[in-house]
Structure 1
């Protein structure tokens, strides 16, 4: 009889409070698809889904083996992204982030622990993607000089944004891909400086160049950055058709014909006036 009463009491508690707990946890759904997006140490955490008006998200960042800190701009937020660039003070450390599902701003909850989703581990020094660099091009006989600008990052040193060279130092290389203009055959060379001289080029030929950041010490697949926009040298042997587009050439021909027609018209009119004036003088003399 006592056992029956205990079972009845258990079922009463279970069916009375379990729906409440289910409802409370269901009102704060766990974040999903938590991923990192990072380029030149500009690092953003993104996730799904966008919250309803009944809940929000809070982000906590932790160095692996260290203490967690709440990110000021990402506390009880309705956004599904959080910029963690400035919070990652050590680019060589590895981090994890927790996305907590909480009540919205101004609301309270009796829950002591909230649903959360932990991100994969992220190591900025090894994992951030490298953006396409910019460079200037100067060409002389048989060689080309490329002056590459070391891209700025989102990591500041005082009031100064550090460059990729500041962070990677001698580990930062550049890979140059080049080819003869209008040719499909390409060559690549690696350089450990930002001032690059490519030699062995054919004199008078036009060459095109692209540059990308290259970190040989990284794991394969993360060593190379995005390719820059191509730049080509001038071809000293180009014909006028190769230099200018057909539209420009046709426009120039039409302009020349118009000018020629105007000159001929003006010349003919002037000659007729002179002839008419001369005939008038002759009649006056007679």
Structure 2
């Protein structure tokens, strides 16, 4: 076999081996509160595996030890992306499964989109508690900053630890019996809303707001709805004047009906008794 034929044979073998390891597709960064997982398709078979290489753009590539010749189609890079404000990309390499050697000098691979943890991670829903002032004109919201997937000195960090003064909260509120909404932005986790109508119940939602981000990433997930409970409301606060008048009229009608029934019953008993006395008299 001459040299040209041998080269052609090796090339064909290499192409055949490469074709047996399909490239990763639909590579997506999925990240919430800095828990960042790279996902892709398809899930590998027993014939091949995936290896993930990541790097800050322009820097040397690194490997996460849990994502080398893996039989899954995802890789958790939360602890690997240490520079939260840097831009990262990742290559997903299609390789032989563990324990199998290959002569491929460069396995087929696909590259992910860019990802910056600080700018792109989604922010989960916060939780909060309400406190209503005695006169009901002020309501204070105590927001709990959501925890992240990051730790420092053994302590789990919050989104406030990461974003600092860049973190705000957007409060959306309305009267419980109304659909009209108002909004209030606050840089603090303790939020006071004043000038509220006394005796009214209000419903609130809170979400993180990071104005330095691009528009579609500024708002976090909206919280569950919490409503204030108004105690000792007068009947005029609960019901309209028309409803009260209708109620009073209904009560009067019921009383009148009861009196009428009582009068009719009384008259029938009286007539029956008198008729009985007449019969006794006539019999005598």
Q: What's the TM-score once normalised by structure 1's chain length?
A: 0.77
Please say if 1:175 is aligned against 2:167.
no
Whether the aligned pair in 1 keeps the contact of 2:14 and 2:104 (CA below 8 Å) is no
Tell me, in whole angstroms, the C-alpha distance in 2 between the residues paired with 1:133 and 1:117: 36
Please say if 1:203 is aligned against 2:202.
no
Tell me, in whole angstroms, the C-alpha distance in 1 between the residues paired with 2:234 and 2:161: 42
Please say if 1:212 is aligned against 2:218.
no
Deviation of 1:17 after TM superposition, in Å, equals 4.4
Deviation of 1:20 after TM superposition, in Å, equals 2.0
Please say if 1:187 is aligned against 2:179.
no
Over residues 197-220 of structure 1, what are the superposed CA-to-partner deviations in whole Å (9 max), with x where a residue is unaligned?
Answer: 011111111100000000011111
Note closer, same or farther for the CA distance 1:14–1:90 as it changes in structure 2 (3 Å cut).
closer
Give secondary structure in 2 for the equivalent of 1:221: helix
Please say if 1:31 is aligned against 2:24.
yes
Tell me, in whole angstroms, the C-alpha distance in 2 between the residues paired with 1:192 and 1:154: 23
Tell me, in whole angstroms, the C-alpha distance in 2 between the residues paired with 1:238 and 1:122: 56
Partner of 1:227: 222
**1:110-259 equivalences in 2 (<5 Å):** 110-140=103-133, 141-236=136-231, 237=233
Over residues 178-204 of structure 1, what are the superposed CA-to-partner deviations in whole Å (9 max), with x where a residue is unaligned?
Answer: 000021000001000000001111111
Tell me, in whole angstroms, the C-alpha distance in 1 between the residues paired with 2:69 and 2:7: 32
Whether the aligned pair in 1 keeps the contact of 2:44 and 2:71 (CA below 8 Å) is yes
Deviation of 1:15 after TM superposition, in Å, equals 6.4
Over residues 203-245 of structure 1, what are the superposed CA-to-partner deviations in whole Å (9 max), with x where a residue is unaligned?
Answer: 1111000000000111111110011000001133388xx9xxx
Please say if 1:100 is aligned against 2:93.
yes
Tell me, in whole angstroms, the C-alpha distance in 1 between the residues paired with 2:207 and 2:111: 33
Tell me, in whole angstroms, the C-alpha distance in 1 between the residues paired with 2:154 and 2:85: 21
Give secondary structure in 1 for the equivalent of 2:216: coil
Whether the aligned pair in 1 keeps the contact of 2:174 and 2:202 (CA below 8 Å) is yes
Tell me, in whole angstroms, the C-alpha distance in 1 between the residues paired with 2:156 and 2:58: 28
Tell me, in whole angstroms, the C-alpha distance in 2 between the residues paired with 1:69 and 1:14: 33
Gaps of 5+ in 2: 239-284
Tell me, in whole angstroms, the C-alpha distance in 2 between the residues paired with 1:99 and 1:16: 28
Tell me, in whole angstroms, the C-alpha distance in 2 between the residues paired with 1:69 and 1:211: 39
Please say if 1:91 is aligned against 2:81.
no
Aligned length: 232
Tell me, in whole angstroms, the C-alpha distance in 1 between the residues paired with 2:195 and 2:68: 58
Note closer, same or farther for the CA distance 1:16–1:88 as it changes in structure 2 (3 Å cut).
closer
Partner of 2:46: 53
Residue in structure 2 matching 1:68, options 61, 74, 80: 61
Partner of 1:284: none
